[in-house]
Amino acid sequence: MGRTSLACSSRLQMSWMGVQERARGFGPFRQYLVNSSWEAVKELSKRGLGENIDLQIMQLPVVYRKAKEQVCKIWTTLQPLLTVHVGLASSTTALIILEQCGKNKGYQERDVCGFHPEGACCVLDGPEKIESTINMKSLWKNVSVEGIDIILSRDAGRYICDYTYYTSLYYGNGRAAFIHVPPLSESVTAEFLGKALQTIILAMLEQCGEQREMDHRGKK
């Protein structure tokens, strides 16, 4: 297997398996001038994910239109095998949340530009929800990070995080993942979150490898 290119954003996006790995981070969010998701993604980029993954990072604005434009561009131009988004969950203090699915409707809250999507949905006539091909329940059961709890969720919040996730799942045929991280604190530092992301995403990549192997065998 050749080198994989990874792109990261806060609301992180990554791709894997010799195609591209993207990690994307978000900018200032609500009352948080420093978005922990972007700080965590930057720390992840310092650590890397192994010599076969070329990690790139990108920051997304907390703006529906711009976030959608960038996500669509990733899938149309880079065509990654997997995209991982990382966002700030402002309601959590010491939790990492694995989001299993994205929802299409219910986006009434306005972004920092005072805009919300037409019809309050991500994709007109799109499916009500889209599940990630990553088995978050399996990750939740088998992955642990010392010093912080990991929980499973099926509701990413009907704001930019959920909107970005659904859009990525839609254009990527389910090949996306979303991780919510808590705000920074004395005990939850950017370095700590970067290491936690590394652990979780490596487990995601292992799942991708297993799935590719199963698909390959099925074609024989």
Q: Is the pTM of this model over 0.95?
A: no
pLDDT of residue 16: 31
- In this prediction, residue 8 has a pLDDT band, given cuts at 50, 70 and 90, of low
Mean pLDDT of 187-199: 96
Q: Does residue 24 register a pLDDT over 60?
A: no
Mean pLDDT of 90-119: 92
pLDDT digits (tens, 9 = 90+) for 39-58: 999 999 999 988 887 777 78
pLDDT of residue 57: 78
Measured CA to CA, the distance from residue 211 to residue 51 in angstroms comes to: 21
Q: Residue type at 102? A: G
The pLDDT mean for the chain works out to 83
pLDDT > 70: what percent of the chain? 79
Kind of pairing between the strands at 82-88 and 4-10 = parallel
- Residue 103 to residues 82, 106, 109, 150: CA-CA distances in angstroms? 19, 8, 14, 21
Q: Where are the domains of the chain?
A: 4-219
Measured CA to CA, the distance from residue 204 to residue 12 in angstroms comes to: 13
Mean pLDDT of 107-112: 93
State which of 13-17, 143-147, 214-218 shows the largest mean pLDDT: 143-147
- In this prediction, residue 21 has a pLDDT band, given cuts at 50, 70 and 90, of very low
- Residue 154 corresponds to which tokens in the numbers above? 């099926």
Q: Which of 93, 203, 115 is nearest to 160 (CA)?
A: 115
Mean pLDDT of 4-25: 41
Q: Which of the 8 DSSP states describes residue 78?
A: I
End-to-end CA distance of the chain: 19
Q: Which of 175, 213, 189 is nearest to 15 (CA)?
A: 175
Which residues are tagged catalytic?
99, 161, 180
Q: Does residue 15 register a pLDDT over 60?
A: no
Q: Does residue 216 register a pLDDT over 50?
A: yes
Q: Does residue 10 register a pLDDT over 80?
A: no
- Residue 177 corresponds to which tokens in the numbers above? 């993942």
CATH number of 4-219: 3.40.630.20
Give me the half-sphere count of Cα atoms (radius 13 Å) on the Cβ side of residue 128: 2
Q: Does residue 219 register a pLDDT over 80?
A: no
- In this prediction, residue 27 has a pLDDT band, given cuts at 50, 70 and 90, of very low
